[in-house]
């Protein structure tokens, strides 16, 4: 099953490459997004996501349609995002702009902090959008393969601990969004009194990095 899914994602890459070659004047979907008030913070995120090949190929090829969770409250958000990405990659002509109004409406509906047309934080919007797409495209949950109450867990090698925690996380949070964006942070906590060490493994969707001055 894993090999088949990897092949499907390779097909998704091919879709993006084919569209890029077909539209030589806009080889990477160079389509503008209309500014709905002060929504440049949202448009910049959407343009970055649009140029993430594995993600965009997944939507442009309609592979996503087989995995939409129709019971999810994020279903419409996912469908509106897919429609926008397809419009951006299939629009023809020069100086093309598209209004992301439908997607903006869904974002405002589920995250009131983004309602209206004022400026907001791009990273906060990106986190919400990825979380929404993750929920809307979640694959069926499975039982975690490893017990959380394993008394011998701390004695196992670090790589084995990490792999077990990752497999448990993916059993409950498997989607294309997780596969493309999610990673795992390993941290070591040491007790100042007894000096006991404890390893922690936390999933993340994005990292905040300082910009050198």
Tens-of-pLDDT digits for all 213 residues of the chain?
Answer: 333 444 444 455 566 566 555 544 444 577 889 888 888 889 999 999 998 988 998 999 899 999 999 999 999 999 999 999 999 988 765 678 899 999 999 988 887 788 777 778 888 999 999 999 999 999 998 998 888 788 888 889 999 999 999 999 999 999 999 999 999 999 998 989 998 888 899 999 988 888 888
Output DSSP code: residue 138. P
| Tokens matching residue 189 | 């906590």
Identify the three-state secondary structure at position 139.
coil
What is the CA 96 to chain-centroid distance, rounded? 26
Judge contact between 115 and 122, C-beta under 8 A. no
């Amino acid at each position: 099953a894993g090999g088949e899914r990897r092949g499907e994602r390779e097909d998704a890459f091919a879709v993006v490459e084919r569209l890029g070659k077909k539209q030589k004047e806009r080889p990477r979907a160079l389509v503008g997004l209309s500014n709905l008030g002060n929504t440049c913070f949202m448009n910049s995120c959407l343009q970055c996501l649009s140029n993430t090949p594995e993600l965009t190929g997944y939507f442009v090829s309609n592979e996503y349609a087989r995995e939409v969770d129709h019971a999810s409250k994020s279903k419409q958000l996912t469908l509106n995002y897919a429609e926008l990405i397809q419009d951006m990659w299939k629009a023809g002509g020069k100086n093309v702009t598209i209004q992301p109004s439908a997607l903006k409406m869904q974002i405002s509906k589920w995250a009131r902090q983004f309602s209206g047309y004022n400026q907001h934080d791009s990273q906060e919007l990106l986190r919400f959008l990825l979380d929404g797409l993750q929920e809307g495209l979640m694959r069926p949950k499975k039982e975690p393969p490893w017990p959380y109450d394993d008394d011998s867990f701390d004695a196992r090698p670090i790589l084995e601990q990490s792999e077990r925690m990752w497999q448990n996380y993916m059993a409950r949070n498997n989607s294309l969004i997780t596969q493309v964006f999610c990673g795992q942070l390993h941290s070591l906590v040491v007790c100042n009194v007894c000096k006991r060490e404890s390893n922690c493994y936390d999933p993340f969707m994005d990292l905040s990095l300082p910009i050198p001055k």
